[in-house]
Amino acid sequence: MEVIKFSFDKEYKLPKLVIALGQFDGIHLAHLKIINKIINEAKKSNNKSAIITFYPHPDFVLGKRKEEGYLTPLEDKIEFFRNLQLDYLIILNFTKEMGNMEPKDFEEKVLAKFKIEKIIIGFDYHYGKFGKGNVNTLKKLYKVSVIKKVLFENEKMGSTQVRKYLLEGNTLKVKEILGRYYNIFGVVQPGSKIGTALGYKTANIFINNSYYDLMHGVYAVFVEVDNKKYFGVGNVGYNPTVNTQDKPRIEVHILNFDESLYGKTISIDFVYHIRPEIKFSSKLELQSQIKEDIIIAKRILDKEA
C-alpha cells in the first residue's frame, strides 16, 4: 500500500481508482462494508483501490467535538488498511480553510487530480462547506455506489456508539460493532516495579493522547508480543493504591510470561471489563484482589481463545 500525503500543488499520475471517501475512525463493520467493496470492485475491474481520508479529524478542527483522541489513530489506521491490501491511502491535512471549501472546489482541487473510475460511499456522506456536497452532487460527476445504512440496536452503526460503550466499559458491545476487540498499541516503559514487588510483574504503557479514552479499571486482555498471543490482566488508570500516577496508564500482567519487554511495542485487546479501579486499604488487600482478577480473566479468556 502506498501512503500519499495530499498536496494541492502536486500532480498525481496514478492508475484508475475505485475510491472511498471518509474519516473511518474506528473502522467498524459499516466502514468495512465500504472498504471491502472498493477493494473487491477494484480487483474485478482491474483498477486500484484507494481511500481518501482526513487528518486531523474534521470534527476537532471545526470545533464540533473537543479533541479527545481517536478510536483508530492514524498510524494504526495505516497499518490496518495495509493488512487489508488496499492499494493507496490518500491523506488530506484537514484545516479550517478546507472545511470552508465549497463542494465544487473540493471536486476540482482534490477529486479531479485522480482518475476516478468509481466512488463508493455511505448513504449519509457529506463534504464541503456546511456539508452541502453529498451523494447526489457526486453522482453528477462520477459513477457512485452507495452503501445503505447499517443498524446496530435499531440505531445507525457508528463511531459514536463505540465511544459511548468504551466509556461504559462495555467491551462486548464494542466488539459487536467493530467485529474485533478494541485494541491499543503501546511501547513498554520502565515502571516503579511495584507489581514485581507484589508478585505480579507488569508491563507499563503510558497511554498515547492520540487514543480515545476508555473506562478505567481492570480488564481481561489478550496481549500480542512478537506475533505471539498471551493471556493477561490489564489495569487502566492512575494506580490509586500504590505509586499513584498523574496521567493514566495501562499496566498489564501477562500470564506465564517472564521476559523483559522494555522498549518493545505490544498490542492489547480489551476483551472484558472485570471491575472498576479501586483504592485498597493495604498492599495485602490489593494482592488478594489481583489474584482473584487473574482467576476471573483466565476463565473469560479461555472461552474467547
Beta carbons within 10 angstroms of residue 96's beta carbon: 10
Q: Which class in CATH covers the domain with range 2-153? A: alpha beta
**What is the pLDDT at residue 198?**
65
Q: What are the angstrom distances between the C-alpha of 279 and each of 29, 190, 198, 243?
A: 38, 23, 15, 11
**What is the pLDDT at residue 195?**
59
**What is the pLDDT at residue 251?**
92
* Binned average pLDDT, 10 residues per bin, the chain of 305 residues: 96 97 96 97 97 96 91 95 96 95 96 97 94 96 96 95 97 98 92 65 84 94 96 89 76 91 94 91 83 96 93
Domain spans of the chain, in order of start: 2-153, 181-304
Query: Considering the entire predicted model, what is its pTM?
Result: 0.93
User: CA angle, corner 186, sides to 276 and 236, nearest 5?
Assistant: 10
Query: Which pairs from 53-57 meet CB under 8 Å and 24+ separation?
Result: 53/21, 53/22, 53/23, 53/24, 53/77, 53/89, 53/90, 53/91, 53/92, 54/23, 54/91, 54/92, 54/93, 54/94, 54/98, 55/91, 55/92, 55/93, 55/94, 56/94, 57/23, 57/25, 57/94
What's the CA gap between 58 and 40, in Å, rounded?
A: 28
CATH topology of domain 181-304: Elongation Factor Tu (Ef-tu); domain 3 (2.40.30)
**What is the pLDDT at residue 300?**
97
